Structure 1
Amino acid sequence: MIGVNSVQSTSKVRVRTSGSVKYSREDSIRRQSHRSKSMKISNSSEFSAKEAKALYNSIKNEKLEWAVDDEEKKKTSSEGTDEKANGTHPKSISRIGSTTNPFLDIPRDPNAAVYKSGFLARKIHADMDGKKTPRGKRGWKTFYAVLKGTVLYLQKDEYKPEKALSEEDLKNAVSVHHALASKATDYEKKPNVLKLKTADWRVLLFQAQSPEEMQGWINKINCVAAVFSAPPFPAAIGSQKKFSRPLLPATTTKLSQEEQLKSHESKLKQITTELAEHRSYPPDKKVKAKEIDEYKLKEHYLEFEVC
């Protein structure tokens, strides 16, 4: 049974509810009037539509420069002048082939040792992740190659230590960290061709001037890669079945030669075991094609690491 007090409280609730509805309506009207005023202000622009379009196209074609303080400009220019006077390279270009991942950038050491140099013809066979290079970009080009540190520089002119590297030289440079060079037995169109597979799975073909030169390049590249490549980072872990290759840092190893050798032996043992386990559980023939591709991709990676 509902008492008098309960009825009174119900009426109060009704009054409050109607009041709140009234308030919300007034509030919405105020908001609409405020919005219309702001639209009027924004529409009263200083530029016409034609002028605004012209400004947009101008900025699009010639991008605005970042604002830099006068002190910063003086500091940068003085550093560049001092470096030129000392015969060193500017510090502005410290890494090659910068990517979104800082661990994969190629460090450039101006004081690195030169291990081999000579003329090589290059052909790009596959881009990053093994994707086939478009036909228009597969042609042979001759360069003066310089294996300096863990970077193979491909220059148009003969190497001169005192000469600064051009942007084109840096663009053509290839890091040999975690790379593998071998004789291109599957390529028969030209003699003395070696195949270089990089850490990011690019494939490049190089033609040397003689069989001895070809073997010399193979030995030097593999030696530099083995001695100076830093241990790989662990592969990404996730709930997805998709295979992810471990990150291979471009920085040089901090290990001694003895520690580096032990690291290689341990890694080889681990990869060999992993490859055997992988092959012992092949995918069922009834599974999706995507899963079979993932299985083959992992097998290809493990085989490459064992080589």
Structure 2
Amino acid sequence: WCRAPPLPATPSPHPAMEELPPETGEEPPPDPPASTHGCPPGGSAVTPALANGGQGRRGEAQRLAARLFHLDDFKKSQVAAFLRKNNDFSGMVAQEYLDFFQFGGQTLDQALRSFLQALVLTGETQERERILGHFSRRYHHCNPGAFPSPDAVHSLTCAIMLLNTDLHGQRLGRAMTSAEFVANLSGMMDGQDFPREQLKALYGSIRSEKLAWAEDEEEEEEEETAGGASLAPPGCKKSNPFLDLPGGTGAVTYRRGWLARKVLAEADGKKTPWGRRGWKPFQAVLKGTVLYFLKPGGRTGAEEPLGVHHALAERASKYTKRPNVFRLQTADWRVFLFQAPTSEEMFSWISRINLVAALFSSPPFPAAVGSQRRFVRPILPAAPSRVPPEEQHRSHEAWMERVAQELFEHQRNLPEKRGRARDLDEYRLKKEYLLYERRRYETYVQVLETWISAGAQDLEGWEAQAGPVVAPPDPPTLTKAHSSPSLVPEPPIAPTVRVKRNISERRTVRKIVPKRNKNLL
């Protein structure tokens, strides 16, 4: 084994780590209990004070690291709690723990896969960054010629984690391409560029096989005994700290029932191709802020779940081909149509989806800033809000007034009639966005007012008090006019008969010669 020299556990100052995905909204696992902090017989005990910032000895750190690596009275989900703290003892434990890994001769993605199989990467963003920093220093020590410094390994490791999330996570748009992955890492290897072929190989490895996440043995046994009855699709593991959907374990189930689904638009409002617009029946479950779709007939597996945070459900009054249909637009501007068995169930689905969205939609982040003057929608966080309903109601009211004021200013500054087509499109897109946002926040405010007045507890009582959702009236249409029956209809015009002329009656063309030129002929 190659032993790494003692290194400080300070986080890397590299800006790439600032782009790590935020927390999924779940609480980080608690530290292991004090009873599991002891050493094997004959060794000194590791007290909780040492694990929380005290100055420990190197021998105690080595013994604790050995127990963590061999999972001696520890679980994989408890290992990260001893490696992620920002103190000297946690740094020594992390160094001794990483010394058990032999990364010599392995590529970076191979070493990262083996490391993520040994522990569950949990904690806040900076705590995960600290653990990946320990991994980067160990990999550079075992492969000193692969990269110029541990910071370069750290930057590329974080880029691989983000690439895995972009390719295999719940993305809002198209996936990152190989050229974009290479361009994003320009100048990140201590001011130089990583080898292009190396980045392409890493991209191909992550695209063909996503990073597998560790799980405790008890959780794996529970999943096997459950027979695959999980609500999440088979490709999403709940222990993945970067891909977890909010509202999974321990979330409240707000509604369950049969729904037929039709996809009208994909991410960013792009129209769905005709071949994928058919109606499909599902057993739908609204659990937390996630709407799950189970296949009917006892078939295994499930469709991709749908997040309802910052979503808006409305009755599809313009869709007349089927009854009891409501429209759902999500945070990434995907549009779905759902058909319920009865009108009562349709109104119940609309009310409860809007209630969940109003209760748990966090305030949006500022929109991305670019060099081009283009309209960009603000970023809507998926992490659920944890504030009480009264404060959430005040927040939605403030955003409703802000959007209304912005819409007023936008409509005052009309673009030039002879302006560029691009400017006109930008004006139209922003106007559509502001109109939709105003309607969404008005719905949230109205729903929360009735929810708070009903006591914010009983769903059935709240639905009875709020009443059915009233669809906006359709615009009046002109009826087709009919002629008065008292008027005498005009006789039909007789068709024109074409008469074929005789050959002798046809006009002939003769050559006219002036008299003065007759002598010349």
TM-score with structure 2 setting the length: 0.41
Q: Is residue 288 from structure 1 mapped to residue 420 from structure 2 by the alignment?
A: yes
* Aligned amino acid, residue 252 of structure 2: A
Q: Which residue of 2 aligns with 1:116?
A: 255
1:90-239 matches, within 5 Å, as 93-94=237-238, 106-157=245-296, 168-169=301-302, 171-239=303-371
* Aligned amino acid, residue 238 of structure 2: S
Q: Is residue 251 from structure 1 mapped to residue 297 from structure 2 by the alignment?
A: no
* Aligned amino acid, residue 194 of structure 1: F
Percent of residue pairs identical: 46
Q: Which residue of 2 aligns with 1:241?
A: 373
Gaps of 5+ in 2: 1-109, 120-213, 440-521
**Secondary structure at the residue paired with 1:106?**
coil
Over 3 Å counting, the alpha-carbon distance change for 1:69 and 1:195 in structure 2 is closer
TM-score with structure 1 setting the length: 0.67
Structure 1 residue 80: Cα displacement: 3.6
* Aligned amino acid, residue 72 of structure 1: A
1-structure distance, mates of 2:434, 2:117: 53
| Per-residue Cα deviation, 1:229-261 (whole angstroms, up to 9, x for no partner) | 111111123342200000001110032212111
Gaps of 5+ in 1: 1-63, 160-164
| Per-residue Cα deviation, 1:179-201 (whole angstroms, up to 9, x for no partner) | 00001112111111000000000
Structure 1 residue 77: Cα displacement: 6.0
Q: Which residue of 2 aligns with 1:23?
A: none
1-structure distance, mates of 2:238, 2:341: 32
Is the deviation greater in 126-135 or in 150-159? 150-159
Structure 1 residue 79: Cα displacement: 4.8
Over 3 Å counting, the alpha-carbon distance change for 1:66 and 1:134 in structure 2 is same
**Secondary structure at the residue paired with 1:120?**
strand
* Aligned amino acid, residue 106 of structure 1: L
**Secondary structure at the residue paired with 2:118?**
helix
1-structure distance, mates of 2:275, 2:397: 42
Over 3 Å counting, the alpha-carbon distance change for 1:70 and 1:199 in structure 2 is closer
Q: Which residue of 2 aligns with 1:68?
A: 114
**Secondary structure at the residue paired with 2:255?**
strand
| Per-residue Cα deviation, 1:279-305 (whole angstroms, up to 9, x for no partner) | 001111111111111111111111111
Q: Which residue of 1 aligns with 2:132?
A: none
Structure 1 residue 69: Cα displacement: 6.8
2-structure distance, mates of 1:271, 1:71: 46
Structure 1 residue 158: Cα displacement: 8.2
1-structure distance, mates of 2:297, 2:412: 52
Larger relative helix fraction: 1
Is the deviation greater in 195-204 or in 78-87? 78-87
2-structure distance, mates of 1:267, 1:136: 39
**Secondary structure at the residue paired with 1:116?**
strand
Structure 1 residue 107: Cα displacement: 2.3
1-structure distance, mates of 2:357, 2:280: 24
Q: Which has the higher contact order (CA 8 A, sep 6+)?
A: 1
Q: Which residue of 2 aligns with 1:262?
A: 394
Structure 1 residue 66: Cα displacement: 7.5
Larger relative strand fraction: 1
| Per-residue Cα deviation, 1:150-205 (whole angstroms, up to 9, x for no partner) | 0111111489xxxxx97x42x42111000000011121111110000000000000
Indicate the RMSD between aligned Cα atoms, in angstroms.
3.3
Over 3 Å counting, the alpha-carbon distance change for 1:115 and 1:263 in structure 2 is same
**Secondary structure at the residue paired with 1:247?**
coil
2-structure distance, mates of 1:255, 1:144: 31
**Secondary structure at the residue paired with 1:190?**
coil
1:9-20 matches, within 5 Å, as none
Q: What is the aligned residue count?
A: 231
1-structure distance, mates of 2:116, 2:421: 60
Over 3 Å counting, the alpha-carbon distance change for 1:72 and 1:155 in structure 2 is same
1-structure distance, mates of 2:313, 2:115: 48
2-structure distance, mates of 1:175, 1:77: 27
Q: Which residue of 1 aligns with 2:217?
A: 78
Does structure 2 retain, via aligned residues, the 8 Å contact 1:95–1:106? no
